Amino acid sequence: MTALAVLLGHRIGYSASPAMHNAAFAALELDARFELRDVAVDDLAGEVERLRESDRIGANVTKPHKVAVCSMVDELGPEVRRLGAANTIMREGHRLVARNTDLAALRAELPSDISRAVVLGSGGASRAAVDALKSAGCGAVLVLDRARWKNMPGALMTAQLLVNATPIGTESDDTPVPANLLRRGMAVLDLVYRPSPSRLVREARRAGASARGGAGMLLRQAALSFTLWTDREAPVDVMRDALRGELGDGADV
């Protein structure tokens, strides 16, 4: 019986996760596959319940469901209890366990010695970014949701790091940050990975800022999720090659 892992999200046709995970399954000769499940909010509980079926090994979770799934499983990992957001579900027998691999992936992507940061967004990715920053010793983390974006110019004047934890820029040439607010000496981490580099990353680099897109974080969290599902070390190089094949050689992988 072919094992199945899925991505639960809404409007996720752009996702590069199937390419990475299916390449990893093939490399390790595992009889498994990874598929997208585009799920509206009202249908989420039913899709989570299907993860208990014997052929399922788990799921990744993306926008807008990272918070909602936490009330639909049997157990929360310690990091999920702290964050209130999950991006991975494991099936253990008939029980479902929620974990968050975004957190470790984000920590690995953050620049060192950051004391003042601004995080855009208020969803699950934003929660992980804030926690990762605080764990790294960042003493001042300002979260700006869309209702507070009028405060962005003042906030970015002294910020050492800007994290875009919104989906703005995904499959588009949009950006949440006016180019005139970007400057030399600032670091930018845009969690958007398609296109790579995003408009925000391109404009930040033109302004002299150090900037990275979200492809590297996507790869790291995917590898961690793969290991949780399979109890096998993820073939990271294989997954990286598959991700580059999806995004292009210029991607920040």
How confident is residue 163, by pLDDT bands cut at 50, 70 and 90?
very high
* All structural domains of the chain with their residue ranges: 3-100+216-247, 104-213
CA-closest candidate to residue 214, choices 178, 171, 184: 171
Q: pLDDT by residue (tens digit) across 132-141?
A: 999 999 999 9
Amino acid (one-letter) located at 209: A
| 104-213 and 3-100+216-247 share a CATH fold | yes
**pTM (predicted TM-score):** 0.95
Does the annotation mark 66 as catalytic?
A: yes
Chain mean pLDDT for the chain: 96
Tell me which of 63, 66, 134, 150 is the catalytic residue: 66
Pairing of strands 116-120, 161-164: parallel
pLDDT in tens, 57-116: 999 999 999 999 999 999 999 999 999 999 999 999 999 999 999 999 999 999 888 999
pLDDT over 90 percentage in the chain: 96
Task: Write the CATH number of the domain with boundaries 3-100+216-247.
Answer: 3.40.50.10860
Structure tokens at 51: 């993860």
Which band of pLDDT confidence, cut at 50, 70 and 90, is reported for residue 250? confident
- Dihedral over Cα of 92, 26, 11, 67: its sign: positive
β-sheet with 95-99: strand ranges across: 32-38, 3-9, 56-61, 88-92, 95-99, 75-76
| pLDDT beyond 90 at 253 | no
Could you report the per-residue pLDDT of 179-220, keeping only the tens digit for each? 999 999 999 999 999 999 999 999 999 999 999 999 999 999
As a CATH number, domain 104-213 is 3.40.50.720
Instruction: Give the pLDDT confidence of 5-52 residue by residue, as tens digits.
Output: 999 999 999 999 999 999 999 999 999 999 999 999 999 999 999 999
DSSP line for 187-232: EEEE---SSSS-HHHHHHHHTT-EEE-SHHHHHHHHHHHHHHHHSS
